[in-house]
Every structure is written in structure tokens, then in C-alpha cells.
Homo-oligomer: A and B are copies of this chain.
Amino acid sequence: MKKNKPKYKQIIEAAVEVIAENGYHASQVSKIAKKAGVADGTIYLYFANKEDILVSLFEEKMGQFIEKITNSINQKQSVSEKLLTLIEMHFRQLAENHHLAIVTQIELRQSNKDLRLKINKVLKPYLATIDLIINEGVEEKIFRNDLNLPLVRQMIFGTLDEIVTNWVMKEQKYDLVKQAPGVHALIINGLSVK
């Protein structure tokens, strides 16, 4: 399995750094190879082409991202706590890895439509996790039962994504994780039974 070989991971890490530092368009394969400490050609033993590095990077990092969030949520009892945990973990993981934040919020969006569709696929489990929380809230009669699920999901994801992007664009000058309770309150308010 190529994904477990050390060079696979080396190249992914190098790609995150190079893209964060140079921007998407100035991130030549040769630059990534140099940072990873391998020959240019070696890249192509592990990845089909340049786009495949980016998709794999996103799969790898997003996989961990989602796994950590899911694990944390599973330790919480109430729907409200679960949502707070999701928001906190979403913010915390990107706050802890500035390079990754730049890559996911800014640089990877400069890719073409095909790559974007692949990225959307990777995001599906995360969106499903959001759906689970919403549905649980509805079942427990904490949230209103007239909620339009896709709409609520898009609101939650859109809000988190916009907040992180703003934070990155403002060069990460403030504490992103501290925003979590405020965002949590807004969302809980929006969804709750009066």
C-alpha cells in the first residue's frame, strides 16, 4: 500500500508547506520534490500527476480532520455539546496548523472544477456528520421539526467556512477558537424550539 510508505507522507507534507508558502500557482512539482527530499520523478511513483498530489493531500488531511471531530463528538452526550465540539474542533484543527488552513481555505480553491468536485466528495462524510447532529436535535425535540436539512447544513458549513476564511485572510491575527462559543450560540438559537 503506497499510502503507508514514508515517502508518500513526506511528499504530502512537503506539498502543504510549499503551497502554503508559495501559493498554488507557484508550487511546481520540482519545488515540492526538493522540499520532500526526493527526485522529481519519485513524485510520480506515488502520485499519478500533480492534481493527484492535491486530491490526496486533501483526502489525507480531511480524513484525519473528520476522524478527530467524530471521535470527539462521540464522547459528548447532548446535542448542544456535540455541536459545540464540532465547531471548536473545526476551528482548533485549522488554528493549530496554519499551513493547512491556508491551503484548504485559499489555495486549493484555485483549482479547476474537476478537482473541486473531487474535493466535494471528500467533504461528504463531514457534511453527513453535521446532518447527524441536526437530526438528533430534531428527534430530541431540542431543534424545531420544520427544519430544512440541506439548508441548515449549508448554513452551518457556510458559516464555519466563511469565518475560517476571514481569519486566514486577516492573517490569523486573532484567536479563532475563541469564536466558537459565539458561533455555537447563534446556531443553537437559530435552530431551537422557542
Contacts and interface: CB of A to CB of B under 8 A. Distances in A.
A112 B23 contact: yes
Interface in A103-140: 106-107, 109-113, 116-117, 120
A142 interface: no
Contact of A116 (B25, B106, B160, B186): B106
A28 interface: no
Copies of this protein in the complex: 4
Contacts of A24: 112
A192 to B, nearest CB: 7
User: Which interface residue of A113, A155, A166, A194 has the most chain B CB atoms within 10 A?
Assistant: A155
Interface of A: 23-25, 106-107, 109-113, 116-117, 120, 147-148, 150-152, 154-155, 157-163, 166, 169, 179, 182-183, 186-187, 189-192, 194
